[in-house]
Each structure stands twice: as C-alpha cells, then as structure tokens.
Amino acid sequence: MHAQRYDPAVGSRITHETAPYSALADVYDTIMADVEYDDWAEFIVALARARGLPGGRVLDVGCGTGNATGPLHARGFEVIGVDASEAMLAVARAKLPGVTFVHGDFERFQADGPFALVVSVFDALNNLLDDAAFVAAAERVWHHLVPGGLFVFDVNTPTGLRDLWEGGLAEGWADDVYYRWVHTYDPDRNVATVEAYCDTPGGSFTEVHRERGYDEAMLRSLLPRAGFEEIDVLTYPEAEPAPADADRVWVVAKRP
C-alpha cells in the first residue's frame, strides 16, 4: 500500500515525532538513492593520494547507513564506521557485514585506531552547532590519526544553508515514501532547521534536524585549535580553492 500524500489543507498525517536519524534510518537510503557517494569516495581517494597517502586504515565519522563506507571498502581500504545513531548503524551493519561499525558521537567517539585517513561526508559535521563541539570532534579525529594522517570532510557553508532549497521546501516521492522537508535558516545563529516529514507504508513521522554553517574563515580558525595543519578548502569535483560564495566546501587537513 502506498503512503498517503501530505495535504496542507487537512494538515500533516504525523503520527509521532522522533529523534534525528532514528525513524529516518529505515527510509534514508530510499530518499538518498541518487546521492553520488561513489563519486565522493573516488574524490576522497584522489585527494589523499595527491598528498602522498598510498593506503592505510580509514575511519568514517558520521557514517550513517554506510553509504560512503561501502565505496571506500570496495576500493580495498580497511574501513571502520562510527555514528551516534544506533538505528542508522543497524542498517549499515546489515548492508556491510564485513565492516566494523562503532556507536559513538562526534565529540566522544573511540574506535580501534590508529588510522591513516579519517573522512566525514554529506555535511555530517554541520550537526556540530558551536565552536566548542566542532573543536572537540576535530580533536577526537586528531587522536585517531597517525602522524601525517589526513582528515577529509565536506560541510555546508552559511551560504549553502541559507539557500538550501528553493522556496525552503524539498518534497516528493521516493518509491513508496512521500517526504516533505521544510527548511528555515536563522542568520543570527547561523543555524538551519529542517522539519523532515515522511509518510511511509509503516507509518508517518517527523524529525527535526539542525545544522550550523562553516565557512573557510571558521574552518581555518577552528581546525588548528585541534592540532591540524596544511588546511586546504576546496571545490568539488575540481579540487580547486573554494570561492568565498561557495555553498559547500571540501576540506583536507593534516595531523603533523
């Protein structure tokens, strides 16, 4: 049976509100089916190799359902994933039984290191809503890297969060899942809020997600506080220096 379509005239068919990345885990891969995770993995590997990193163990922080973990694993890397959502990890473990996944949040995670490369993709680090949280997470990454190891990640900038979707709305069908996600941005706090409504064959729910934007100046200020050096802020897929008005940037930082 197909989910019923949201009708603003009668109100949403919300049955319950859930914590971020809990109920969403069951339909996340369906909604994100077109995201270019495999291309991102290739980009990450190219960035790392261009900086002299031939191989080694990889840690995927904020791995979610393993959509970036899998392509890195398929390229021959030994990868461990870490995420704060047990629901997302359950999906990841089912998809990738040969990969180790660890439960832990950004600021306190502990994995069996060390690692040559730590990655975090699809604006996972935007979930860190203040400077202290970002630095704490970056310090955890630093402690899991070998000397000379690399931290590669992407983030939405304030520009990207301000202009996330035209009209502040993303709406549609993904197979039998109807989604209607409403976006607002608070420029004073530099925080975007997404009310993510999903109607699925198993029921409907809403999750509220918040992200903070990070621009180049912020990144070049915060990452050295965690001990990182040689910081590049780049475009995708060109790997060129990002312009000031970029909506998303990729970052490579090195542990000395």
Q: Could you give the CA distance from residue 212 to residue 2 in angstroms, rounded to a whole number? A: 35
Q: What are the residues facing 233 on neighbouring strands?
A: 251
CATH code given to domain 17-31+160-211: 2.20.25
Q: What pLDDT digit, counting tens, does each position of 174-205 carry?
A: 999 999 999 999 999 999 999 999 999 989 99
C-alpha closest to that of 137 among 183, 104, 181 = 104
Give the start-to-end residue ranges of the domains of the chain: 17-31+160-211, 37-157+214-254
Q: What pLDDT digit, counting tens, does each position of 86-129 carry?
A: 999 999 999 999 999 999 999 999 999 999 999 999 999 999 99
Q: Has this prediction a pTM greater than 0.85?
A: yes
CATH code given to domain 37-157+214-254: 3.40.50.150
Could you give the residue ranges of the DSSP H alpha helices within the chain?
A: 25-31, 37-50, 69-74, 86-95, 131-144, 158-162, 216-225
